[in-house]
Amino acid sequence: MKFTKKFKIFIISAISLISLIVLIISLFFLFNPNIIDSQLTLRVGAYENEPKIYTNDDGNVVGFFPELLEHIALKEGWEIEYIHGTWVQCLERLENNTIDIMLDVAYTDARTEKYDFTNVNALSNWGIVFKKVGSRIETLSDLDGKKVAVMAGSVHTDGAQGIKNITKNLGINCTFIELDNYYQVFEMLSGGGADVGIVNRLFGIFNIDKYNVEATSIIFNPMGLRFAFPKNASLNLYLISSLDKHLLDLIEDSNSKYYELLETYIYGFNEFRIPEWVIITIVSSIGLVALFFTTSAILKRKVKSRTAELQKAHNELEERVAERTIELQQANIRLKGLDQLKSMFLASMSHELRTPLNSIIGFTGWLLMEMEGDINEEQRKQLTMVEFSADHLLNLINDILDISKIEAGKVDLAITKFEIAEAVEDVVNSVLPLAKNKGLKLIYTVPKGIIVNSDKRRIKQVIMNLVSNAIKFSDQGNVKIEVKLLNNKDLEVIVKDNGIGIKKEDMEILFQPFQQIDMSSTKSHEGTGLGLYLSKKILELLHSEISVKSQFGKGSEFKLIIPIKFKEEV
């Protein structure tokens, strides 16, 4: 696989590069000239606390702290003189100002009363609860009822944050076995004399392999190990500021002597080992490279699968769109078919209904003309009824046909210029006989010379409908038609009667199809029930309006507002 090959090459390159860097740095340290300037001699308390500070077989003071101090002293040009003693002796000497500096002193508030300290911790330490290998003790609460081996006088035993106070505060009861040093603590623990033992972190790390013990996750009482000085000694200010600065620099630089010492004394068990930072660097590099390749491989695969998903989704979408388009096209074809079917139906209905009506109306009219011989009054009356009904049926058919056409959007308006007076006169002439029959006066006022550009036939149809209704629903008085020009823009047509009027509750249904209002009234009126509905539909086509005012029992007034110039798009 390509991936594996690339990966191997990368690792080899990374290791080579890192080795080269290690070599250069080692050479640098090897040839770095040591300039010793003996201006100041520091008296340093030396005691035995391996690995932090101790005297080796050759009689030299070694360990983490002395070597750290020596490293700094080398740079500052200080000379060091070790004054050997026990821990307690050393502290006494510090108090008496017979030594200048003590290494590895845990910083506590109580101790600041007696000594001055650096501000920076040279090392951190804390108490750890150790257990015998295989023991199940893991948390503080597990210590309840247990035997605990501790070192007498240690900060981790008797300090403010020591184990005695901690367990006491938590209400955990355990038996403390106080011993002289940490070695005894580990010895008793591995021997089974105690359930757990408490030592500091550094001792624990250094000695864990020598005893049959292991660390629990219980850690407590963290504290800084610092350099301590006699209280208010004259050198303190200088020493503290110098040491603080060096410590900070050393801690910040992961390649510094500090970490080398840490490795050698604290984590390294005194054996030669590849410096940890080298291992860390190599491992991290390999890790990073592996991570990079893994991540990029995963990302690539993810992107690929995502792309595939998107592509699939996209294709599906396109397919669906295509399907939908076809469906819509088919639906459209079906609708067009239906539309044609409807038109055909309308045409055919018109034809089929008119054909028999043609003979009914034709023969009735023929007989009434007495072309086939005289008819008596009763025959005339009955034939007139046949003619009237046939006409009514014809109107119904025409109205239904009209409405169907309008609703189907099949109406082609015939827009022409005409004089409104002429149109009104046409209407009046055709309804005059009806009005006369009912003894009604037909009054109309139309100014001459108003030219309207609209559909003459349709406007006539609407006015005819309103006037017919007015005549139909009136038994006395007069029917008035008033035409006015408004703002030289709109035509106002009012049709007024003194008829039966319209009830308030009927106003709403007035313009709805097949709503002949006043059904309960004593008299039924002829009409298709489609007239006003059709009129409204026609007026909508002509961008015109219809409104009505009425008082029941007193009459009605219909008002039309028709633009004199019809515009296609308004």
Partner 1 sequence: MKRVLVIEDNEINLYLMRTILQKLGHHVIEAQDGYTGVELAKMERPDLILMDIQLPGLDGYEATKKIRAMEETKDIPIIAITSYAMVGDKEKILAAGCTAYLEKPIKPKFFIEELKKYI
Q: Which of 251, 361, 375, 494 binds partner 1 (CB under 8 A)?
A: 361
Asked if 495 contacts 481 with a C-beta cutoff of 8 angstroms, the reply is yes
Shortest reach from residue 349's CB to partner 1, in Å: 10
Among 366, 408, 507, 565, binds partner 1 (CB under 8 A): 366
Kindly state the smallest distance separating residue 568's Cβ from partner 1, in Å.
17
Residues 226-255 that bind partner 1 (CB under 8 A): none
Which pairs from 424-430 meet CB under 8 Å and 24+ separation? 424/463, 424/481, 424/483, 424/493, 426/460, 427/460, 427/463, 427/464, 427/467, 427/481, 428/467, 428/481, 430/464
Q: Please state the closest distance from residue 504 (CB atom) to partner 1, in A.
A: 38
Q: Rule CB under 8 A: say whether 541 interacts with partner 1.
A: no
Q: What x-and-dash track marks residues 397-426 binding partner 1 by CB under 8 A?
A: -x--x---x----xxx--------------
Contacting residue, 192, 222, 362, 439, with partner 1 by CB under 8 A: 362
Task: Give, in degrees to the nearest 5, the angle at Cα 494 between 490 and 498.
Answer: 170
Q: How far is the CB of 357 from partner 1 (least distance, A)?
A: 5
Sign, Cα dihedral of 369, 373, 379, 385:
negative
Question: Whose Cβ is closer to partner 1: residue 369's or residue 519's?
Answer: 369
Edge-first strand order for the sheet with 545-551 is: 441-445, 478-486, 490-497, 555-563, 545-551
CA-CA distance, 490 to 563, in Å (whole number)? 4
Compare residues 14 and 415 and give the one whose CB is closer to partner 1. Answer: 415
Restricting to residues 299-358, name those near partner 1 by CB under 8 A.
343, 346-347, 350-351, 354-358
Q: Which is nearer to partner 1, 399 or 497 (CB)?
A: 399
* Closer residue to partner 1, CB minimum distance, 351 or 567: 351
Assigned token pair, 67: 């070597």
Between residues 295 and 429, which has the closer beta carbon with respect to partner 1?
429
User: Least distance to partner 1 from the beta carbon of 513, Å?
Assistant: 19
- Residue 491: strand pairing partners: 485, 562
- Among positions 128-157, residues that touch partner 1 (CB under 8 A) are none
List 85, 193, 224, 365, residue binding partner 1 (CB under 8 A) = 365
Residue with tokens 């294709």: 315
Interface residue with partner 1 among 98, 359, 382, 389 (CB under 8 A) is 359
Question: From CA 372, how far away is CA 356, in angstroms rounded?
Answer: 21
User: CA-to-CA distance for 131 and 137, rounded, in angstroms?
Assistant: 7
Specify whether the CB–CB gap between 497 and 556 falls below 8 A: yes
Residue 430 and residue 449: Cα distance in Å, rounded?
22
Q: Which stretch binds partner 1 (CB under 8 A): 81-89, 200-208, 390-398, 431-439?
A: 390-398
Cα–Cα dist 95/93, whole Å: 5
Token pair listed for 485: 């020009």
Report the residue number, 355 or 487, with the smaller CB distance to partner 1.
355
> In the bound complex, what is the minimum distance in angstroms from residue 560's beta carbon to partner 1?
23
Residue 561 binds partner 1 (CB under 8 A): no
Interface of this chain with partner 1, residues 496 to 525, rule: CB under 8 A? none
- In the chain, what is the greatest distance between 2 CA atoms, to the nearest angstrom? 164
Read out DSSP for 148-191?
Answer: EEEETT-HHHHSTTSHHHHHHHHT---EEEEESSHHHHHHHHHH
Residue 253's CB: how many other CB atoms inside 10 A?
11
Which residue, 370 or 526, is less far from partner 1 as judged by CB?
370
Q: Which of 22, 42, 394, 432 binds partner 1 (CB under 8 A)?
A: 394
Rank residues 15 and 408 by Cβ distance to partner 1 and give the closer one: 408
Cβ closer to partner 1: 255 or 359?
Answer: 359
At position 115, the amino acid (one-letter code) is: Y
User: What residues are paired with 497 via a beta bridge?
Assistant: 479
**CA triple 48-51-53, angle to 5 deg:** 45
Determine, following the binding rule CB under 8 A, whether residue 363 of this chain makes contact with partner 1: yes
Structure tokens at 52: 């932090």
| Interacting span for partner 1 (CB under 8 A) from 50-58, 363-371, 497-505, 514-522 | 363-371
Choose between 360 and 450: whose C-beta lies nearer to partner 1: 360
- Chain CA centroid to CA 96, Å: 70
Separation between Cα atoms, residue 67 and residue 90, nearest integer Å: 18
Nearest distance in Å: CB 406, partner 1: 11
Cβ 186 vs Cβ 197: under 8 Å: yes
Of 263 and 426, which has the nearer Cβ to partner 1? 426
User: Contact residues for partner 1 (CB under 8 A)?
Assistant: 343, 346-347, 350-351, 354-363, 365-366, 369, 371, 390, 394, 398, 401, 405, 410-412
